[in-house]
Chains A and B, each alone.
Chain A
Amino acid sequence: MSEEIKFKIDGKEIIAKNGQTIVEAARENGVYIPTLCNFKGVKPKGSCRICSVKVNNRFMTSCTTPASPGMEVYSNTDEISDLRKSIVELLFVSGNHFCPACEKSGNCELQALAYKYRMMVPRFPYSFKKKGVIATGPKLLKEQDRCILCQRCIKTIKDVEGRRYYAFRNRGNKLEVVMDEAMSKTISDELAKQAMDNCPVGSIIYKEIGFAEPIGTRKYDKKPIGSDIETN
């Protein structure tokens, strides 16, 4: 598995370990490919589609596609940048993402990507159905209109026996992520905080503490998303 392979992203040579996905290899080589649903340590699912790249003139999600020797990957082209911008816009219009009132502003990856791709007015009409807030549990609330259905909480927040705290409900454009009601009552403080941190947007919110760190001094307020990865 430690065998090294070489391939190219936008002409730049990338050295990767055999079996690594394009996204992982890119990251280690100082190339930033945006991701939302992808999360370190869990099996990628390729559901947000924002990491789409072109290989052999076909779109692939770089979080799920293993790098292979000699592969020529295109990521930072005009076409793909506009595609990524359109996906950010799509996520914005299909939810109620009102940044100034959101606890996650400045720490939100969707917001940071919107800045990165210079989103102004989305090309799509706003058209979300209000889904509301579920706040029955003692520690966490779930703001359904901010959820981008990335599955990070579904995949990472589990009890010791592997039971999932979060699960999907329904399908298609009625799809939601909900928390198991019984389990929400007994979630540990640590896991609850982790759930909030793992959420890329402001959908999972830890109750009772708010704005401990003022807006303006948060992660992406200081440095744009991806700048910690990009070397040049």
Chain B
Amino acid sequence: MKEKIKTILQKYNNDRGRLMDILIDLMENSGYIDDFSVSVLAEDLKISAAQVRETISFYHFFSEKPKAKFNIYLNNSITSCLRGFSSIKSTFEAESGIKFGEISSDGLIGLFETSCVGMNDQGPAAIINDKIFTNLTPYRARKLIESIKDGKTLDGLVYENYGDGNNSHPLMNSMVYNNIRKKSILLDENYERFDVIKNIIKNSSSEEVIQIIEDSNLRGRGGAGFPTGLKWKFGSRMPGEHKVIICNADEGEPGTFKDRVMLTQYNDLVFEGMVLSAFATKADMGVLYLRYEYKYMLKYLNSILDEMRENNLLGSNISGIEGFNFDIRIQLGAGAYVCGEESALIESMEGKRGEPRDKPPFPVEKGYLDLPTIVNNVETLASAVKIVKNGAKWYSSFGTKDSLGTKLLSVSGDCRFPGIYEVEWGTSIREVLEMAGADNVQAVQVGGPSGTLINVKDIDHLSKTELMKWYKPSGMMAAQKSFDRKLSYSDLPTGGSIIIFNKERDILSDVVMNFMDFFIEESCGSCSTCRNLPRIMKEKLQKIINGHGVRDDIDDLLNWGKIIKVSRCGLGQTAANPVLSSILNFRHLYEEHVMAMTDYDNQFDLGKSVSAANSFVGRKLIHKHS
């Protein structure tokens, strides 16, 4: 055992900065990280055991207790719940004879819940030992447990054909479907692989590349909307021998799955974008931070990187350009939504808890290992390649005046055609609903839980320009201003999540409660505000739903929602948005629940309190709570 741990440690040069990789390897090796491993790590990395456990206990997919042979992580995100999560969950429990959070006594099956796994268009989905099982039903859940008990292998559990495109590549063998519903300039096939590296940057300077990106007005597609050209320009001007390009593929905002599709089907475009941004900023280190939920793509993505190395598209003197040295490694996450925030992502890459950093300094000044670090979203990097290929002028013929180009939307929820839609900026929600085949719509969640819940009644009033505001998910309060800000705020990638709810859905108890649970689960816990308020607000909301709320409770929620805005990062600042946004646009639902004309808290229910005594003496309830 000790030998194995030592081998893993040596693989990463006993570097405590690579603790994430070390722990991931250990998990793979023995299914969990036991006390002995912790003590060996602590000793060799020269940190305390408590420090090792600090990182382990932060991430959802690390475990200090033995795991089962088959670990089923069932996704509990909102669309999963709309499509039968609870009946699937109870089937899993009934068939396996254990509860969620437990492992069967023979060590065969473990049941766990997990936040959005990026499969909202084909949910409910579960991850079983890194493999994705989509479109679950109680029937399929029963069959899965039966097959496991019959001694089938992981591959033997597969119940559907492998998905379209690269999903069925032998290195991927995944049941996932791309579900691309609408292609435009980013997703069209009018692109020769690696053309920009091979032919264009050879004859350009880094300044020229940055100028094209600046002229195109490309903004960060993760959601924060920071001008990409400006970020690259800052990066290129930072002094230093080493600089880092990070591609943020930690999409965790419930309802987004565009990066999944980009990495499956357009990974060459994404990697080319990383090389391009390295050329522009003179960076030499590249890292793709891949969320753990997408581990099934890892082998395949590494094969693309190998191919690029073989063809001199990575490595030294790339494409014959003297002194242009750059390579990419893939860093796996381990299950933490907050790591989508760029500075938390960097902390995680350094082997620590994914806790956002204070800014300034910004990553572009002091990022990974304190080096200048340029963090871009998957979609941004891919878009940059198309822009450099076709020119800024071409790009500016798409979209609206202040938002050029296109945006990938991840559409899910109550509609006939969930999937990826590449639309020009300026497309209205109404058009999106039409494209997706959604009717009887009550509400649309734009930008994920941290975004805005739109009441469909209001959509007619939203002009195209107004709609643009909804796409700036840094929080609805700051939405209008967000594009004017410069290097002054950071945010979580939320861009493009659209979740549709029909009129049968209970907005408060189904939707808002689910989102609040998500924020409670995914807070890093550092800020006093974000650690405590979402839970307190959820309890208040539960009180209102239970019919014990008074009108003051609604005001309390609004006021408390303001306090949380002083949190450090975008996750914290927006963690009350599900409540605030639904009060703003669905206030009548709250008012229906609160006790009419009551201003004071009347939580005491006499009837309920004396019910035990009443039943004991056989007396009927004489006082009825009004």
Contact = CB atoms under 8 A, between A and B. Distances in A.
B479 to A, nearest CB: 15
Interface stretch (B280-288, B370-378, B458-466, B559-567): B559-567
Contacts of A59: 565-566
A191 to B, nearest CB: 13
B48 A49 contact: no
B532 interface: yes
Given A49-B529, A173-B523, A167 B54 contact: yes
A185 B57 CA distance: 23
A181 B38 CA distance: 13
Interface in B335-371: 336, 353, 358, 360
A114 interface: no
B352 to A, nearest CB: 10
B304 interface: no
A61 B532 CA distance: 18
Contact of A49 (B47, B50, B58, B528): B528
A206 interface: no
B54 A90 contact: no
Contact of B531 (A127, A149, A181): A149
A215 B623 CA distance: 50
Nearest to B524: A171
B82 interface: no
A134 to B, nearest CB: 12
B544 to A, nearest CB: 13
A83 B564 CA distance: 10
A124 interface: yes
Interface in A176-221: 178-183
A94 B532 contact: yes
Interface stretch (A7-15, A100-108, A158-166): A158-166
Contacts of A181: 49-50
A52 B568 CA distance: 10
A48 B526 CA distance: 8
Interface of B is mostly: helix
Interface stretch (B197-205, B241-249, B533-541): B533-541
A44 B532 contact: no
A217 to B, nearest CB: 30
Contacts of A2: none
Interface string A88-100: 0011011000000
A70 interface: no
A47 B526 contact: yes
A80 to B, nearest CB: 10
Given A93-B536, A127-B539, A165 B48 contact: yes
A34 B539 CA distance: 29
Contacts of A49: 527-529, 566-568
B53 A61 contact: no
A25 interface: no
B525 interface: yes
A46 B568 contact: yes
A182 B35 CA distance: 12
B57 A47 contact: no
A226 interface: no
B51 A167 contact: yes
A64 B357 CA distance: 10
Interface centre among B46, B522, B526 (most CB of A within 10 A): B526
Nearest to A126: B536
Contact of A87 (B360, B521, B529, B539): B529
B556 interface: yes
B579 interface: no
Interface of A: 44-50, 52, 58-59, 61, 64-66, 83, 86-87, 90-91, 93-94, 123-125, 127, 148-149, 161-175, 178-183
8 contacts: A47-B527, A52-B566, A94-B528, A124-B560, A125-B536, A167-B54, A169-B54, A180-B48
